[in-house]
Structure 1
Amino acid sequence: MADKKADQYYAPPPKLGKWEGFVTFLWNGETSQFLGRTAGSWAKILLFYTLFYLALAGFFTIMLVVFYQTLDDRMPKWQLTSSLIGDNPGLGFRPMPSDSNVESTLIWYKASDKENYKSWTQKLDDFLEVYKSTSMQAGQGNKIHCDYDRFPGEGETCAVDPTKWSPCIPSNDYKYPDSAPCIFLKLNKIYGWKPQYYNDTNNLPSKMPAELKQHIQLETNRNPKFINTVWVSCEGENPADIENIGPIQYFPKRGFPGYFFPFKNDEGYLSPLVAVFFERPKPGVLINIECKAWANNIKHDRTERRGSVHFELMVD
C-alpha cells in the first residue's frame, strides 16, 4: 500500500494538449504564474533591467558630455598636416552634373535649347544664391569691403561682390545661350591654411603656363600688392583640347585674393570665387579641361587631383 502511494506521489504530471499547454503557460492558476513567472519574479527581473539600462544610458551620457567638452564648434581639433584632409587644398567647380551621376564631370548642353541649358544655369543660381543675399553684403553684420590694403580683422569677413563676375551673371544666363559658358571655381576650405605667395615674379614655377607668368608680372608691376594672390589657370589637357578650348577670361581676378585667407570659420564667411569665361569653345567637341591653383605651398598631382580640378565641356 505504501509503495503504491509513493508511485502515485512521483508520478509525472498529466500530459496536456498543445492548446491546453499554451493556456497553462499564459496563466497557471495552481502556481499563480504568468508566462512562466510569478508576480514577484517579474517584479525582480523588471527592476533589474530598468536599473541596468538606466545605468547604461547614464554612462553613455557622461561619456558623450566628456567627448563634447573636447570639441570646438568653430575650430577643428586636428588641423593642416595633422588632419585627414591635409594642408594641400584642391579646387572645386560649379555647376556640377546631377547627383544621379556622381562620377561624371561633364558639362554638356545644347545652346539653342533653353530647357536643356536651363538645368545648368539653375544649378548656378542655387549655388550663388547665398552670394546674392543682401545679408552677405558689406556693411551687414561682420561683412566689410576688403582689398589688398585692408585685410579683415578679428571676427570680420570679406564681402563678395557678385556684380564683378560680369558677364558671368544670372541676367544673361551666365552666357550659356551664347555657346560661351561660365564655370565657377572655388578653392576648398582648409582651416588655418595660409598661402605662400610667389614673391619673386622672375622665378615662377617652370610648369606654370607662360601666359599666366606674363599676367602675374603685368599685375604686380601695376600694383606690387597683387602678388598676394592664389593664381588660377585653366587649360586643355591634351593638344587637341588646347586647340579647341578657345580664349578664356577670368572674373573678377585671375585668382583668389589673399585677404580671404586664412579660413577661420567665422560666421558668414564666403569662399572667394573665380568665374572662368570660355569665349569660343569649339562646338560639338568634347574638351578636357584642367584648372590649377598656384601658390608655393600648393602641390599638383593630376592622379589625385591635388591643387587642381578636371572637368569636360561640350557645347552643341
Structure 2
Amino acid sequence: MADNNELYKNIADRDTGFKKFIWNSDKKQFLGRTGSSWFKIGVFYLIFYACLAGFFAIMLAVFYQTLDTNHLPKYTPGGGGSLLRNPAMGFRPLPRSENVESTLIWYKNGDNDDIKHWVDTLNEFIKPYEGTSDAISGQHITDCSEDNFPKEREVCRFQDSWLKDKCQKAESWGYNRESPCILLKLNKMIRWVPEVYETLEELPQDMPESLKKHIEKRMTENQGRIPKMIWVSCEGENPADQEYIGPIRYSPWQGFPAYYFPYMHTPGYLSPIVAVQFDSPVSNVLINIECRAWAKNIKHDRQNRLGLVHFELLKD
C-alpha cells in the first residue's frame, strides 16, 4: 500500500510540475518565459527572418538581371561559355514505351495491327507541321530561300506537304508497303549556326561518295554554287548492312537548309525534317543504319551520338 501511495504522489507531483511549466502564476511565466522575455525573443526572430528574406530577395533580383528577357540561356553555342557546340540528331518513329532504350524499328510487312504503332507515332510527330501555310497569331512565319533568310523574330515555313513519295501520312509512311520511312531532325541548339561547305575541295574525305556526287549535281543545277545546306547521308554501318539496305531516297532535300538556323526560341519555329525512304530493304534481316549530318562545324562521335544517329531496321 505504501508503494502505491508513493506512486500516486509521484504522478501528482509530475502533473503539478507540468502545469506549472505551462503557467507559473507565482512568476507570471508561460512556458518558462515571462511576457517581456517572449516579446524580446519575438522581436529578435522577426528582425532575423526579415533580414534573411531581404537578403534572399536581393540575391534573386541580382540573378534575374543576368537572364535574357527572351528566355534564352546565358551560355549558348553562339554566345560562348558553353560546352554544347555540336548538335545531335534524332529520328522518328521511336520504339514502343516498354522498349524505351531500344533503337530497333521492327514491324511485320502488311500487318496493319503491327504497323499501327509506327504509323501513329509519325502521325503524332507531324501534327505541328500540318496547316502551317497560314500565319499564326503572334508568330511570324515566312517563306525562306538561300537568297531570303528570315529576319529577326521571323521563322521559316516548313510544310508536311513537301515530303514526297511514300513518306507521307496518306501513304502510312510506307509501312504498309515495302518502303518504310524514317524522319530525321537536328536537336535544337540556341544560336548555333552551321558552317556550310562552299567548295568541293572542302568536302571531307570520309564523306560517302554518293553524297559527294549528289552535292556536285546540285552544284551544277545551282549555277556552280553549292547550296547552303547541312547535308545528310544514311548507309548501312557494315558491308553486310550496306548490301541489305537497298536504295535510299530523301525528301524534300538531302539535308537541312541553312536558312532554318540559328534557332532563337522564336514562337512558331519548326525544325526542318529530312524524310529517309528505304525502298526495298531485305526482309527478315536486322540492318544497322547510321545517318550523319555534314557541316564544317559538325563533328561525329559514335560514343556520344554527336552529329549522327543510329537505329536498326527489321522487316518481317
What TM bracket, shorter-length normalisation?
0.7 to 0.9
Q: How has the CA–CA distance of structure 1 residues 203 and 57 changed in structure 2, closer, same or farther, with 3 Å as cutoff? A: closer
> After the TM superposition, which residues 178-257 of structure 1 pair with which residues of structure 2 at under 5 Å, given as runs?
178-202=177-201, 204-223=203-222, 224-257=224-257
Which of 56, 61, 66 is residue 65 of structure 1 equivalent to? 61
Structure 1 unpaired stretches of 5+: 1-13
How far, CA to CA, are the matches of 1:280 and 1:27 in structure 2? 90
Instruction: Calculate the TM-score normalised by the size of structure 2.
Output: 0.85
Aligned partner of 1:87 in structure 2 is 85
Q: Percent identity?
A: 49
The answer to whether the 8 Å contact 2:198/2:225 transfers is no
The answer to whether the 8 Å contact 1:148/1:226 transfers is no
Which of 121, 124, 147 is residue 122 of structure 2 equivalent to? 124
Q: How has the CA–CA distance of structure 1 residues 25 and 101 changed in structure 2, closer, same or farther, with 3 Å as cutoff? A: farther
Aligned partner of 1:26 in structure 2 is 22
Deviation at 1:31, TM superposition (A): 3.6
1:178 match: secondary structure: coil
How far, CA to CA, are the matches of 2:113 and 2:53 in structure 1? 55
Q: What residue identity is the alignment partner of 2:279?
A: E
Q: Number of residues paired by the alignment?
A: 301
Of stretches 289-298 and 263-272 in structure 1, the one that deviates more from structure 2 is 263-272
Aligned partner of 1:110 in structure 2 is 108
Which of 152, 156, 181 is residue 154 of structure 1 equivalent to? 152
- Given the alignment of the two structures, is residue 56 of structure 1 paired with residue 55 of structure 2, yes or no? no
Of stretches 75-84 and 60-69 in structure 1, the one that deviates more from structure 2 is 75-84
Deviation at 1:225, TM superposition (A): 4.7
How far, CA to CA, are the matches of 2:302 and 2:156 in structure 1? 31
Q: How has the CA–CA distance of structure 1 residues 50 and 196 changed in structure 2, closer, same or farther, with 3 Å as cutoff? A: same
CA RMSD of aligned residues (A): 2.5
Aligned partner of 1:293 in structure 2 is 293
Q: How has the CA–CA distance of structure 1 residues 63 and 211 changed in structure 2, closer, same or farther, with 3 Å as cutoff? A: same
Aligned partner of 1:314 in structure 2 is 314
Aligned partner of 1:6 in structure 2 is none
Q: How has the CA–CA distance of structure 1 residues 83 and 130 changed in structure 2, closer, same or farther, with 3 Å as cutoff? A: farther
How far, CA to CA, are the matches of 2:157 and 2:298 in structure 1? 25
Aligned partner of 1:78 in structure 2 is 75
Deviation at 1:41, TM superposition (A): 3.0
Q: What residue identity is the alignment partner of 1:256?
A: F
How far, CA to CA, are the matches of 1:271 and 1:152 in structure 2? 14
Deviation at 1:217, TM superposition (A): 0.8
Instruction: Calculate the TM-score normalised by the size of structure 1.
Output: 0.85
User: Structure 1, residues 36-65: CA drift from partner, whole Å, max 9, x if none?
Assistant: 333443333333323322221221122111
How far, CA to CA, are the matches of 1:108 and 1:33 in structure 2? 79
Of stretches 146-155 and 24-33 in structure 1, the one that deviates more from structure 2 is 24-33
Structure 2 unpaired stretches of 5+: 1-8
Q: What residue identity is the alignment partner of 2:268?
A: G
